[in-house]
Amino acid sequence: MLELSRSNGGWRLSYGGDTFNAALYMRRLGVPVAYLTALGADSFSDDMRTAWQEAGMDMSLVLTDAARLPGLYAITTDAAGERSFSYWRSESAVRRLFGLPGIETALAAASTASLLYLSGITLSLFSATERNTLISLARAVHSNGGLVAFDPNYRPSGWPDAEAARTAMRDFSPQMSIALPSFDDEQKLWEDATPEDTASRYLKWGAREVIVKLGGQGCLVAQGGSSWRLAAAPAPFVVDTTGAGDSFNAAYLAARLRGLDTQAAAAAGCRLGSLVIQHLGAILPASILMDSILE
């Protein structure tokens, strides 16, 4: 989506969105990434295509809805850097993704991915029938030997009600190889008492590994019959927490794809999340190097 964030008394225009943020950070960490979405035929969409291509992302799965525009959101932050969002996306191009020319070819290509990553916001964009298409895509990825990573990323404004969100996530849950929930979201949606409750639910649903993000408290990692906590990486100051969870996910997944174990991957996630919250917006300036994130 188009992203507006306050800067020097005005507004700065950029691009963001939870799965996009993770995709771009994974690309910067050396992972080949293709992004499946839909944009319009307008100048803003053209600018996004150009920027994504320059970042090295595979654009072959980006479809076009000439009758619609990309979504838009604005970020406001409080004195502690905690963010809130305003959205204009009910008529965005991606809402008609599964009806656009080229979608069957795109889904076939996506089914061969070594890793498919999506979120609860992804599920919220589509009807129950369209979500079944995503479930079929995830099954195909599994059948082809790939993994499916999922961040529930519950945003109440995207759902008719909480039960609709719970139903959609339960339906998708058998497809999760890696679950990346945030405890704050899980408390809102499921009334979890502890991060361990969150991890237990996703493990029971079949996830192989669960990483519960705890904001400034780090994360809880659960795999098999064991779990442990990892402290957050130090941040000298906090400017904007937008994109912290998405960047954590990106570094975690990039580390796992590189062969690092879950503890080392979680540490990488904490390092990148700590770096991101020291800057405005979801995406770090390209000039900031991330060579040490996966060490």
Helix (H) and strand (E) counts in the chain: 10, 12
Domain ranges of the chain: 2-276
> Could you give the CA distance from residue 220 to residue 222 in angstroms, rounded to a whole number?
7
> Could you give the CA distance from residue 40 to residue 170 in angstroms, rounded to a whole number?
32
Cα–Cα distances in angstroms (integers) from residue 276 to residues 28, 138, 165, 238, 284, in the given order: 13, 29, 28, 9, 6
**Among the options 184, 246, 261, 291, which is catalytic?**
246
Can you give the pLDDT at residue 110? 98
Extract the tokens encoding 256.
Answer: 């796992």
Catalytic residue check, 192? no
pTM of the full predicted structure?
A: 0.94
Which candidate, 262, 266, 258, 265, places its Cα nearest to that of 114?
A: 258
**SS3 at position 13:** strand
Q: What is the pLDDT of residues 143-160, one digit of tens each?
A: 999 999 999 999 999 999
Residue 149 neighbours by CB distance under 10 Å:
22
Percent of the chain clearing pLDDT 90 (strictly above): 84
**SS3 at position 213:** strand
> Could you give the CA distance from residue 43 to residue 61 in angstroms, rounded to a whole number?
19
Query: Is the distance from CB of 212 to CB of 230 less than 8 angstroms?
Result: no
Extract the tokens encoding 150.
Answer: 């999922």
The strand pairing partners of 118, in sequence order, are 150
DSSP labels for 180-200? --BHHHHHHHH--SSHHHHHH
Residue 5 has pLDDT above 90, yes or no: no
Which candidate, 6, 70, 9, places its Cα nearest to that of 44?
A: 70
Q: What's domain 2-276's architecture?
A: 3-Layer(aba) Sandwich (3.40)
Pairing between β-strand 219-223 and β-strand 83-88 as defined by DSSP bridges: unpaired
Q: What is the pLDDT of residues 182-207, one digit of tens each?
A: 999 999 999 999 999 999 999 999 99
